[in-house]
Amino acid sequence: ERASTGYVLARDAWGKGYATECLRAMLDLAARAGVPLVTAECHAAHAASRRVLDKCGFQQEPTTRQMVFPNLSVDPQDVLLFSRRVGF
C-alpha cells in the first residue's frame, strides 16, 4: 500500500544531485511495483532535503514528529513528514 524512502549522504556528496537522482529512481521503482504512496521524512532544519522532496513532487504533511539522528545528537530532533502519490 505504501513505501518509505530516504537518503543519508556524506557531506562531500551534497549538492551534486545524487539525492534527487536516487529519489526519482525510487519513485520510478514504486510506480513499476504498483505502490500507490511513497512517504519520506527529513530533519526540520535541513532545507536542502526539503528542496529535493519538493522538486520530486512530495507534499509536506501537517504533522511532525521527533526522532534521533545519531550523526547529529542523542537528543530527539524535529522531523517533517512528506508523501507523494505515485503512478496515478
DSSP-assigned states of every residue in 21-83? HHHHHHHHHHHHHT--EEEEEEETT-HHHHHHHHHTT-EEEEEEEEE--TTT-SS-EEEEEEE
18 has pLDDT over 80? yes
88 has pLDDT over 70? no
Residue-level pLDDT at 69: 79
Average pLDDT over residues 25-30: 94
Taking only the tens place, the pLDDT of each residue in 34-73 is: 999 999 999 888 899 999 999 999 999 998 888 887 777 8
Q: For the chain, what is the mean pLDDT?
A: 90
